Amino acid sequence: MPAVLALSPHLDDAAFSCGGLLASLAREGWRVVMATLFTGSVPDPKGFALACQLDKGLPAETDYMALRRDEDIHAAAALGIAPPVHLPLREAPHRGYGSAPELFSDTRSDDGIGAALGPAIAALIEAEQPELLLAPQAIGGHVDHVQVVRALRSLDGLPPILWWRDFPYTVREPAPREPLADLFAGLAAQTMTLDAEAQARKRAACAAYASQIGFQFGGVAGLDARLAREEGIERFRLSGRLKTAISGLDAG
């Protein structure tokens, strides 16, 4: 049974960006592992970190990341894949990034997360032995996404990688920020055309992240409208050569 490992920066990124592919691979008999890297709970968050949960209507005493990990478990079930893997690394607001604009600017010089992130990803790959990796292109420019790309590219001997286009940043603006575009420009474009079941599973998985839907989309209707703009297609760039053909995945 071939295995695929999706490396999600946050608790929703993989489902949002390649949930249809994950559901399709699981249905074809792949072992699908969705691992989220930045999921560590932080007791008594302060400042901007606290504001990131208050602005979603969650009281200060709520363990925000525990709630989101539970949502992720429900999302994985909706996709028809195994329970997800959660690493305890801390999100950017807990690493000194103090405002929303800072999350989408250059990475801080004192952000040393790469020293832990690279080995953590290497350990996941060693444990899961995937035939294929899925990872973000960091479209939108979120610093956590950028750090994941950099950490992954620092590793040797990797399997093929399908680098996803980060939804919903792809549909928020006509020309979203792509700070790492040069890294992917020369890679072969791939498109995954989702059938009705895969689209339905992806939509259910996205909706499972209830704490994020209002903030990200303005509600479920907004989620549906943004997904409709993707027209049932997920887009990737491929590094390496696929060993196993994937139904619905084509060059272009």
B/e letters for 68-105, b = 16+ CB within 10 Å, e = fewer, are bbebbeebbbbbbbeebbbbebbbbbbbebeeeebbbe
- Count of beta carbons in the 10 Å neighbourhood of residue 115: 9
What pTM did the predictor assign?
Answer: 0.97
Sign of CA pseudo-dihedral 166, 168, 170, 175? negative
Bridge partner list, 35: 7, 85
User: Which helix (DSSP H) or strand (DSSP E) does residue 153 occupy?
Assistant: helix 143-153
With contact defined as beta carbons under 8 Å apart, do 215 and 56 qualify? yes
pLDDT given for residue 173 in this prediction = 84
For residue 40, give the CATH number of its domain. 3.40.50.10320
For residue 139, give its domain range. Answer: 3-251
Task: Give the total number of structural domains in the chain.
Answer: 1
At residue 172, the pLDDT reads 87
Digits of tens for pLDDT over the chain (252 positions)? 899 999 999 999 999 999 999 999 999 999 999 999 999 999 989 999 999 999 999 999 999 999 999 999 999 999 999 999 999 999 999 999 999 999 999 999 999 999 999 999 999 999 999 999 999 999 999 999 999 999 999 999 999 999 999 999 998 888 899 999 999 999 999 999 999 999 999 999 999 999 999 999 999 999 999 999 999 999 999 999 999 999 999 987
CA distance 169 to 140: 5
